[in-house]
Amino acid sequence: MPYLLQGQFNYPQQIGEKRMRILAVEDQPEYLEMLEEVINAVGHTITIANDGFEALDKLKHEKIDVIVSDVKMPNMDGVEFHKHVRAMKEYANTPFIFLTGVKELDSVKNACKADCDLLLQKPFPVDKLLEMFSGQMK
């Protein structure tokens, strides 16, 4: 199964050589751990949230450059979180990457079509994440 389901991640031009601040929203500890290792390995900073509500609170208190969010989570899922993010003036254009293990992908793809940048199917190759967050993704 292909890991890249839809979209393209454009390394934020305004970031240049500085460290990105990446918000990872994920309820599965093994994926959070992997994201943390990858993001730290390429020299960026990670902020972690376990659901959409926690993530919205983090966005109110921290400046974030890129958002990586699971789709299926308790309390507030990724699709609902995405809607809230896009309604926030300061995050309306922030790169947004969906991660999904959902088998029925049509609803996720439809939600992503509007304005998420990338939709990745779990499991995904760690080397591709390293490329993406280091600005080397082709």
What CATH number is attached to the domain comprising 66?
Answer: 3.40.50.2300
Output the pLDDT for position 1. 33
Q: What is the pTM of this model?
A: 0.83
Examine residue 138 and state whether it is found in any structural domain, yes or no. Answer: no
Q: Per residue in 30-67, is it b (16+ CB within 10 Å) or e — as a string?
A: ebbebbeebbeebebebbbbbbbbbbbebbeeeebbbb
Digit-coded pLDDT (tens) for 18-69: 688 999 999 999 989 989 988 888 888 999 999 999 999 999 999 999 999 9
Examine residue 78 and state whether it is found in any structural domain, yes or no. Answer: yes
Q: Which of 122, 117, 82 has its CA nearest to residue 11?
A: 117
Examine residue 49 and state whether it is found in any structural domain, yes or no. Answer: yes
Domain that holds residue 56: 4-8+19-133
- With tokens 């990457």, the residue in question is 97
Examine residue 13 and state whether it is found in any structural domain, yes or no. Answer: no
Digit-coded pLDDT (tens) for 73-83: 999 988 899 99
pLDDT at 2 over 50: no
Describe the chain by its helix, strand, coil percentages, rounded to 5: 40, 20, 40
How many structural domains comprise the chain? 1
Examine residue 14 and state whether it is found in any structural domain, yes or no. Answer: no
Average pLDDT over residues 80-106: 85
